[in-house]
Amino acid sequence: MKKFIVVVTGPTATGKSDFAEKLAQKLGGEIINADIGSWYAPLNIGTAKPNLNTMSIAYHLFNILNKPEQFTVVAFRNRVEQLTEEIWSRGKIPVIVGGSAFYIKALWYKSQESGSSSEIEHVLMKSTQSTQDLWRQLFEIDQFRAEKINNNDRYRVVRALGIYTATGQKPSSFNPVYDPIAPIFGFFCYRERQELYDRINYRTELMLQNGWIEEVQNIMGTEWEKFLIEKKIIGYDDIIHYLRSGKTSLLYDNLVTTIQQKTRNYAKRQITFLSKLKRDIMNDTDKSSYTMYIQEIDLMAQEINQVVQDLYRIIMA
């Protein structure tokens, strides 16, 4: 059997998880999760984690973290490389699905960063300094890297400062290199912008109705609360503030619209990042002997059988 992987990515709420599961069923594959939120065991409703009890095929990298800790891009890539070998040994095809853009990028581009800064990062994460103060320190050290990180993204700010402290070199000098983990067939999923926004708005209301607030309430007062405020997985910090402020109808309405707006903004950023990634991959493909296949998939119109037929035709060519 030819060894290759399938990557299904795209902005949140496009329906890529359902598409990937159907694709895996048709191809004889196993799912590998590449969405950050779904790694954390207590986070289910707000991360749109699929119901694992009803999954009809084998799956991996869901609920792998029972404590509020980071799972680095380097660790993710290493774990995926191990999983792909295991899946291939069973005669199956790895189907990786997710919209966490930096982790998706790591499937094509290998980081040159080392893990030697982990202890430094741990200290910085626990520091009483605000994320904005840490970001300003990074800006003074490496303006180029700082401008690529949101000044509220504590994880990436701390990661960059950790690299500088451990190596003495600017973190922007550690550019990832094009080094795909295997031949990749990539599907970049999309929907028309207004339809995507409508899906985001509806899904937000549905998640809140289905117990998202209760999910957050159950982890209030634990180590997860501080982690979620710092990590800023969309909606969780807003629900924490809502619960701390008292639950009035006016506050609830504001909570709904705030999460909807933040999710739409996140989808915009995903579209921008993934569009650039797609262009970079297509420009860099000649640098590798790997066979690359990149296709945009309109999930409003695409028939799964046609996708599978096209894929098999390319594989067998």
For residue range 79-115, list pLDDT tens digits in order: 999 999 999 999 999 999 999 998 999 999 998 765 5
Q: Read off the CATH number of the domain in which 164 is found.
A: 1.10.20.140
Residues 264, 147, single domain; the answer is: no
- Poorest-pLDDT segment among 209-218, 227-236, 284-293: 284-293
What was the pLDDT predicted at 100? 93
Other CB atoms within 10 A of residue 281 CB: 20
For the record, the structure tokens of 28 come out as 């004889």
Domain that holds residue 156: 118-173
Closest CA to 69 of 190, 155, 133, 5: 155
Q: What is the mean pLDDT of residues 137-162?
A: 86
Residues 158, 181, single domain; the answer is: no
Residues 126, 266, single domain; the answer is: no
What was the pLDDT predicted at 294? 83
Residues 164, 180, single domain; the answer is: no
**For the chain, what is the domain count?**
2
Residues 161, 185, single domain; the answer is: no
- Poorest-pLDDT segment among 28-37, 121-130, 141-150, 181-190: 121-130
d(CA 68, CA 83): 23
Residues 94, 125, single domain; the answer is: no
User: What is the band of 288 on the pLDDT scale with cuts at 50, 70, 90?
Assistant: low
d(CA 314, CA 109): 23
Residues 210, 302, single domain; the answer is: yes
Give the three-class secondary structure for 241: helix
* Beta-sheet strands, E only, within the chain: 5-9, 29-33, 59-60, 93-97, 109-110, 177-178, 184-190, 292-298
Given a contact cutoff of 8 angstroms between Cβ atoms, the answer to whether 47 and 35 are in contact is yes
pLDDT at 185 > cutoff 70: yes
Closest CA to 297 of 282, 278, 315, 281: 278
Q: Read off the CATH number of the domain in which 38 is found.
A: 3.40.50.300
For the record, the structure tokens of 257 come out as 């619209």
Task: Return the amino acid letter for 246.
Answer: G
Report angle CA 242, 122, 71 to the nearest 5 degrees.
Answer: 70
Q: What is the mean pLDDT of residues 158-182?
A: 85
Q: State how beta strands 93-97 and 109-110 pair.
A: unpaired
For the record, the structure tokens of 56 come out as 């009809």
Other CB atoms within 10 A of residue 275 CB: 13
What was the pLDDT predicted at 116? 53
Q: To the nearest 10°, the Cα dihedral for 310, 313, 316, 317?
A: -120
Q: What is the mean pLDDT of residues 238-242?
A: 96
Tokens 């569009």 belong to residue: 275
Residues 98, 211, single domain; the answer is: yes
Residues 202, 297, single domain; the answer is: yes
Q: How far is CA 59 from CA 19, 33, 103, 162, 171, in A?
A: 14, 8, 18, 33, 34
Which residue, 173, 201, 216, sits at the end of a domain? Answer: 173
What was the pLDDT predicted at 124? 77
Residues 232, 88, single domain; the answer is: yes
Closest CA to 134 of 126, 119, 124, 147: 124
Look over the chain and give the mean of its residue pLDDT values, rounded to a whole number.
89
pTM of structure: 0.85
